């Protein structure tokens, strides 16, 4: 989406499970797969410059990190089938010029997902780890053993500190780090909805799932169950937006109520306003947080969208871009609370949105 010309360019790629497409800082675009073995680097016209194939036993999953000043980029990988906490993920290191792999390092946790330099300490990288294993734990969708935020040396990529995110039985997934070094993290967990063939006569899969949500998490679903939850056959657990100090592990829990925190997805941070943005797909709203102030809610109606899924800061402005899962993108001014631009588009079940000045 070109913010100046309002033109939209779309290209189909020969890779499965696309998760995040982000700029490399020079017009190239780095496309990372999700639970699939192939990721790609494209030029500004979407021509494939290189394909990256995960080694045997691993698949890509998550968001790359470009270290432009060091001429490197990192790709996160998880063990294809993690069975124990010993089945940790890897960070692949590539040369940004040659696009050749130069190293691979153990991430120190299960399923590394999102990586960010810590702005006030660029010698460190914050990494979220899902922490779930492939052994079923019904009625939960994810068997979470070691969900955590890991702080890694940005030069050696060796883990320095681990901050376990206990108390929620949920995966630490998406994250951004504020300019003063606090990581904003969203969590994910579902209660599985039984399919008709697995039910006894007279049973209702949705009612069973809702009862389990109440039993395990002491939550009652408010209002109708979203169609997307029924289609995906799981009930989202309402889970907080976390603010974690990357130096000490101190944690603040941000929560506006179950109905506003269902099915987290993207996280953004507006540096100019020092405001973090957490997106909740099933709730169809954003949670805004600025330190020292109460969290606020922005609805999809205010964004003139539906089924919101991706959010990104537009650096140097008070604006964010937000996309619907299947349709359209809005540019929203966090200061005036107005939509200042809108794109009509087909988004193909997109999961994330990035801004890149050089694309």
pLDDT in tens, 81-107: 999 999 999 999 999 999 999 999 999
Across the range 326-348, mean pLDDT stands at 93
Question: Nearest-CA neighbor of 356 among 29, 7, 116, 19?
Answer: 29
Residue 9: predicted pLDDT: 85
Compute the average pLDDT of residues 272-293.
97
Let me know the angle formed at the C-alpha of 218 by 213 and 219, rounded to the nearest 5 degrees.
Answer: 60
Q: Which residues pair with 342 in a beta bridge?
A: 330
Taking 3-state DSSP, the helix, strand and coil percentages for the chain, each rounded to the nearest 5, stand at 10, 45, 45
Q: Which two tokens stand for residue 77?
A: 């990988």
Cβ neighbours of residue 176 closer than 8 Å, sequence gap 6 or more: 116, 183, 184, 267, 268, 269, 276
d(CA 85, CA 135): 12
Q: Is the pLDDT of residue 235 over 80?
A: yes
Q: Spell 267-290 as b/e; 16+ CB within 10 A means b.
A: bbbbeebebbbbbbbbbbbbbbbe
Q: Is the pLDDT of residue 6 over 80?
A: no
Rounded to two decimals, what is the model's pTM? 0.96
Q: What is the number of other CB atoms lying within 10 angstroms of the CB of residue 352?
A: 24
Portion of the chain with pLDDT greater than 70, in percent: 99
Region 190-219 average pLDDT: 95
- For the segment 50-88, what is each residue's pLDDT rounded down to a tens digit? 999 999 999 999 999 999 999 999 999 999 999 999 999
Taking CA atoms, 25 is separated from 65, 98, 338, in Å, by: 11, 15, 29
Q: In the sheet that 308-313 helps form, which strands lie side by side, from edge to edge?
A: 308-313, 319-324, 327-333, 338-346
- 211: β partners: none
CA distance 101 to 276: 33
Give the C-alpha distances (Å, rounded to integers) separating 108 from 12, 161, 317. Answer: 34, 10, 36
Q: Which residue has the higher pLDDT, 349 or 72?
A: 72
Residue 8, pLDDT above cutoff 90: no
The SS3 call for residue 219 is: coil
Model confidence at 347: pLDDT above 90? no
Q: What is the pLDDT of residue 279?
A: 98
Confidence grade of residue 359 (pLDDT, cut at 50, 70, 90): very low
DSSP letter for each residue of 59-115 = EEES--EEEGGGTEEEEEEEESS--STT---EEEEEETTT--EEEEEE-SSSSEEEE
Whether residue 126 is predicted with pLDDT greater than 90 in this model: the reply is: yes
Which residue(s) pair with 126 in the sheet?
116, 151
For the cut 90, the answer to whether the pLDDT of residue 262 exceeds it is: yes
Mean pLDDT of the residues in the chain: 95
Could you report the per-residue pLDDT of 170-203, keeping only the tens digit for each? 999 999 999 999 999 999 999 999 999 999 999 9
CA angle 154/54/13 to nearest 5° reads 105
Q: Is the pLDDT of residue 358 over 60?
A: no
Exposed/middle/buried for residue 346 (C-beta within 10 Å: 0-12, 13-18, 19+): exposed
């Amino acid at each position: 989406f070109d913010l100046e010309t309002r033109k939209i360019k779309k290209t189909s790629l020969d890779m499965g499970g696309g998760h995040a497409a982000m700029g490399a800082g020079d017009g190239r675009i780095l496309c990372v797969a999700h639970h699939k073995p192939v990721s790609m680097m494209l030029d500004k016209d979407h021509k494939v410059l290189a394909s990256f194939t995960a080694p045997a036993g691993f698949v890509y999953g998550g968001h790359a990190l470009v270290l432009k000043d060091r001429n490197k980029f990192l790709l996160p990988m998880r063990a294809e089938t993690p069975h124990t906490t010993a089945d940790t993920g890897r960070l692949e290191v590539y040369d940004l010029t040659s696009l050749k792999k130069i190293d691979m390092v153990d991430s120190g946790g299960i399923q590394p997902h999102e990586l960010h330099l810590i702005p006030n300490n660029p010698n460190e990288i914050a990494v979220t780890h899902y922490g779930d294993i492939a052994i079923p734990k019904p009625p939960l969708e994810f068997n979470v053993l070691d969900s955590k935020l890991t702080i890694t040396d940005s030069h050696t990529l060796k883990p320095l500190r681990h901050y376990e995110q206990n108390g929620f039985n949920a995966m630490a997934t998406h994250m951004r780090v504020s300019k003063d070094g606090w990581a904003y993290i969203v969590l994910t967990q579902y209660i599985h909805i039984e399919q008709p063939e697995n039910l006894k006569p007279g049973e209702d899969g949705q009612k069973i799932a809702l009862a389990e949500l109440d039993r395990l998490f002491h939550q009652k679903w408010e209002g109708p169950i979203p169609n997307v939850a029924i289609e995906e056959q799981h009930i989202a657990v309402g889970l907080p937006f976390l603010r974690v100090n990357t130096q000490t592990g101190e944690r603040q829990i941000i929560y506006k109520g179950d109905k506003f925190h269902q099915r987290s997805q993207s996280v953004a941070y507006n540096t100019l306003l020092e405001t973090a943005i957490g997106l909740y797909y099933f709730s169809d709203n954003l949670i805004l947080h600025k330190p020292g102030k109460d969290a606020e809610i922005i609805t999809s109606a205010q964004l003139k969208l539906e089924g919101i899924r991706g959010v990104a800061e537009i650096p140097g402005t008070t604006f964010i871009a937000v996309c619907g899962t299947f349709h359209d993108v809005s540019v929203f001014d966090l200061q005036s609370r107005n939509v200042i631009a809108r794109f009509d588009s087909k988004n193909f079940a997109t999961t994330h949105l990035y801004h890149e000045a050089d694309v």
